[in-house]
Amino acid sequence: MRNRHIYFLGIGGIGMSALAQYFLQNGDHVSGYDLTPSAVTEMLQAKGAKIHFDGDVTQIPDEVDFVVYTPAVPKDFVEYQYFVENNIPMYKRSQVLGHITDELRTIAVAGTHGKTTTTSMVAHLLYPEQPLAAFIGGISKNLNDNYVCSPRPETAVVEADEFDRSFLTLHPEVAVITSMDADHLDIYRDVEDLQGAFRKFASQTSRTVLAHEAVAQYITQPNKKTYGTSQDCDYYAYQIDYQPETTRFCLHTPQGEITDLALPAHGQYNIWNATAAIAAVLEAFPGMPEDRIRQKIGTFAGVKRRFDYIVRRPDFVYIDDYAHHPAEMRSFITAVREIYPDKEICGVFQPHLYTRTRDFADEFAEVLGLLDRVILLPIYPAREKPIEGITSEFLLRKVQDSNGMVLQKHELVPYLKAHRPDVLLTIGAGDIDRLVPELGTL
């Protein structure tokens, strides 16, 4: 069915925008609202979407067949209320994604971190040789997009988001679980509740659940296989050699050895991601040629805002990363330190959500202590209201022996122009990325 009119509340979100592209490609009319213009909304507008940014019900088309919304949109938002009052069908993003993927063989990648890069790797390994629809939670540099769809897709590759239990709408053939660190404690009662949701997701997988060795004990499905660097795993990387521009490794699989792999990425976590991606592809497509795997891994360009080199000069290095959980930040900062052991490393961190800052304040403080210089921006609230006493100043006070400060966004570039470090990191999932172009001129 084509020529429907589909309206998106929060159309600029990375997951929402992939669905908007799907419907545009399908021949439907797409319009929507977002809080602010961005590169993503500009891309959608160039493809035919009609978007506005001022929460005005008069700009909603007269005929809307159904609405796709993100839970980040407040229920009291004027446009949300308009659709409720006019009895227009409304579906969460996850429900729509589940409906689309139910018609396709699906590889789904879940985890509290690592899922975007792993999903991108799976898509890169398969596309364009396999008829594919990929929905990625970041901009793949190989695709220059967070979405790709063949004319007649047979397989879906999706990032399975645990927020709001969204991934429970998916019923994949092959699933990857990269990690299960405590997160989204505004949604889950505790880490046991989170683990229970991942077990439910695993139970909905028809062929193989691939669990990272660190979380495998929590997944009890009989169709579970494991991956990592331990020789006890079904899939494991070995002979890992970290070089300046690439990481070389070999991979043991149940089908045999794959030798002389060269991944243009740094950090042990990217070896885990690559191992998971190759394992997922081999579980879904057991006959994939070894040479193609080697060629595809060797040409993986990464994901924007995931260990994303912006500047790489002898006198100055600048890397941008989306990390917003202490475990992600530790992996990122540790990998940077391994590459630049003798350089001064300055990290600019924008905390994401008041609840996450409150719940993981001690863990954030410990990880920020790994930096030589710490700059905090004010907390990015996203969907939340402020919590009394939970501020970036509160977080900075917890950082031991910190050479640190809190700056407003407009103060950051002038400060760094006057005090440029050897290595600069920008870290966070809010709107810190809007500062990247100007910081790249330092």
Domain edge (last residue) among 272, 298, 324: 298
Query: Looking at the predicted structure, is the pLDDT value of residue 142 above 60?
Result: yes
Instruction: Please state, rounded to an integer, the average pLDDT across all residues of the chain.
Output: 94
Q: What is the predicted pLDDT for the residue at 382?
A: 83
Cite the DSSP H helix spans in 287-345. 290-298, 326-339
Residues 290 and 335 in one domain: no
What are residue 85's DSSP bridge partners? none
- CATH number reported for the structural domain that contains residue 250 in this entry: 3.40.1190.10
The mean pLDDT value for 141-169 works out to 94
Starting at the edge strand found earlier in the chain, the sheet holding 404-406 runs: 308-313, 316-321, 423-427, 345-349, 373-376, 404-406
- Of 380, 387, 360, nearest to 182 by C-alpha is 360
Query: Looking at the predicted structure, is the pLDDT value of residue 1 above 60?
Result: no
DSSP 259-291: EEEEES--SHHHHHHHHHHHHHHHHH-TT--HH
- Of 148, 165, 72, 187, nearest to 429 by C-alpha is 72
Query: Looking at the predicted structure, is the pLDDT value of residue 281 above 80?
Result: yes
Which of these ranges, 17-21, 159-163, 437-441, has the smallest mean pLDDT? 159-163
- CATH number reported for the structural domain that contains residue 409 in this entry: 3.90.190.20
Residues 345 and 322 in one domain: yes
Dist. CA 180–CA 393, nearest whole Å: 29
Dist. CA 177–CA 216, nearest whole Å: 9
Query: Looking at the predicted structure, is the pLDDT value of residue 243 above 90?
Result: no
Domain edge (last residue) among 65, 91, 117: 91
Residues 267 and 339 in one domain: no
Dist. CA 91–CA 368, nearest whole Å: 39
Q: What is the predicted pLDDT for the residue at 185?
A: 60
Residues 239 and 272 in one domain: yes
List the structure tokens of 421.
Answer: 């470090």
Q: Residue 319 falls within a domain, yes or no?
A: yes
Query: Looking at the predicted structure, is the pLDDT value of residue 384 above 90?
Result: no
Q: Residue 39 falls within a domain, yes or no?
A: yes
Question: Which amino acid does the sequence have at 206?
Answer: S
Domain edge (last residue) among 280, 298, 316: 298
The mean pLDDT value for 314-323 works out to 95
Q: What is the dihedral of CA 76, 138, 177, 357, to 10 degrees?
A: -50
The mean pLDDT value for 68-89 works out to 94
Q: Which percentage of the chain shows pLDDT scores above 90?
A: 86
Q: Residue 96 falls within a domain, yes or no?
A: no
Query: Looking at the predicted structure, is the pLDDT value of residue 235 above 80?
Result: yes
Residues 272 and 339 in one domain: no
DSSP 413-425: HHHHHHS--SEEE
Q: What is the predicted pLDDT for the residue at 186?
A: 67
Residues 159 and 292 in one domain: yes
Q: Which residue has the higher pLDDT, 431 or 163?
A: 431
Q: Residue 243 falls within a domain, yes or no?
A: yes
Q: What is the predicted pLDDT for the residue at 322?
A: 92
Dist. CA 318–CA 177, nearest whole Å: 30
Domain that holds residue 187: 102-298
Question: Which amino acid does the sequence have at 384?
Answer: E
Q: Residue 385 falls within a domain, yes or no?
A: yes
The mean pLDDT value for 97-124 works out to 96
Q: What is the predicted pLDDT for the residue at 26?
A: 94
CB within 8 Å of 205: residues ≥ 6 apart = 108, 171, 172, 173, 174, 175, 221, 223
Residues 422 and 319 in one domain: yes
Q: How confident is the model at residue 118 (pLDDT cuts 50, 70, 90)?
A: very high
Dist. CA 442–CA 425, nearest whole Å: 13
Residues 79 and 111 in one domain: no
Q: Residue 11 falls within a domain, yes or no?
A: yes
Quote the number of domains for the chain: 3
Residues 109 and 84 in one domain: no
Rg (CA), the chain: 22
CB 155 within 8 A of CB 106: yes
Tell me: the pLDDT tens digits for 330-339? 999 999 999 9
- CB-CB neighbours of 80 under 10 Å: 19
Tell me: the pLDDT tens digits for 20-62? 999 999 999 999 999 889 889 999 999 999 999 999 999 999 9
Q: How confident is the model at residue 2 (pLDDT cuts 50, 70, 90)?
A: low
CA 32 to chain centroid, in Å, comes to 23
Q: What is the predicted pLDDT for the residue at 188?
A: 72
Residues 140 and 235 in one domain: yes
Residues 262 and 371 in one domain: no
Q: Residue 41 falls within a domain, yes or no?
A: yes
Residues 127 and 231 in one domain: yes
Q: Residue 386 falls within a domain, yes or no?
A: yes
